[in-house]
Amino acid sequence: ACIGTGNYNEVTSKVFSDHMLCTADPDITREVSRVFDFFERNYRIGRFTHLLVSPFTMRSRIINLIRQEIAAAKAGAEARIYLKCNNLVDVEIVSKLYEAARCGVDVRLNVRGMFSVYPDSVEENYSIPSIGMIDRYLEHSRIYYFYNNGKERVYISSADFMSRNLDRRVEVAVPVNNKEIKQELIDFFNLQWQDNTAARILDNDLNNMIRDYDKQPKIKSQLSFYDYLRQKSSGGT
């Protein structure tokens, strides 16, 4: 099965940046088949344990994953939520991210398009670091990361955090279980987080200024990730 964050389009593939997982994992492929069965067999809803599938399980599973990080933070444990998506406007998701930030969860957001979060709250004394990436290639991939008490969970998905994606479309998020691929996605997120050439800081005032760290080398994450993959494919040389 192939599960990607974008569509099969020969035109947009030249300018869009996406991720795709190709897998023979029977747990995943079985549930991918159930997604297609939904259309082929009179909208019969299958059981989804591994995939997050909207409009059936994705919203509730994402909320539960956020709640787990909140519970960990309240218990004094390390807790992280890193989200990369095109649009973040869903009221319930945004509210839970505020709650997570208030409780001490390390929340980081990389959102290219519509963004309905106030990153800084003076009254409640919390901050949600947020960036948007505008560069040569249109950032289109969606990545969801949850620390999960050290057993990190990473998903790639076709879904943004919008009510239309979570409640009115069939969308899929797939867990990335392979350790090497999972680390590659985490490294990708972290490279973008270090970008100080194309990354813009999303703030309450909508200034959206390019992040610029004085006296630090310029980091252009799309080129850095290309170099990362090239080095990895050549065995580190």
153 and 65 Cβ atoms separated by less than 8 Å: yes
- pLDDT, residue 235, reads 78
- pLDDT, residue 237, reads 52
- pLDDT, residue 236, reads 63
Torsion of CA 175, 179, 181, 182, to 10 degrees: 50
Residue where the block lists tokens 């957001």: 109
| Tokens linked to 152 | 């990190």
The one-character DSSP state at 80 is E
| Tokens linked to 88 | 């973040």
Encoded amino acid at 204, one letter? N
pTM: 0.94
Beta bridge mates, 120: 127
* Nearest partner of 86 among 180, 197, 204, 171, judged by Cα: 171
Q: Determine the average pLDDT of the residues in 132-149.
A: 95
Q: Which pLDDT band holds residue 211 (cuts at 50, 70, 90)?
A: confident
Phi, then psi, of 80 in degrees rounded to 5: -140, 145
Q: Determine the average pLDDT of the residues in 118-131.
A: 92
Cβ neighbours of residue 59 under 8 Å, at least 6 residues apart?
92, 166, 167
Whole-angstrom distance between the N-terminal and C-terminal Cα of the chain? 32
Distance CA 130, CA 118 (A): 9
* Residue 127 predicted with pLDDT over 70: yes
**Strand 138-139 with 16-17, pairing:** parallel
Chain segment 175-194, per-residue pLDDT in tens: 999 999 999 999 999 999 99
Residue where the block lists tokens 């943004």: 160
Q: Which pLDDT band holds residue 214 (cuts at 50, 70, 90)?
A: low
Q: Determine the average pLDDT of the residues in 90-106.
A: 98
Distance CA 183, CA 186 (A): 5
Q: Determine the average pLDDT of the residues in 24-52.
A: 93
- pLDDT, residue 13, reads 85
- pLDDT, residue 9, reads 87
- pLDDT, residue 123, reads 84
Distance CA 48, CA 46 (A): 6
Helix, coil or strand: residue 146: strand
* Residue 86 predicted with pLDDT over 80: yes
Cβ neighbours of residue 41 under 8 Å, at least 6 residues apart?
none
| C-alpha separations of 216 from 143, 158, 213 in Å | 27, 35, 6
Distance CA 45, CA 224 (A): 42
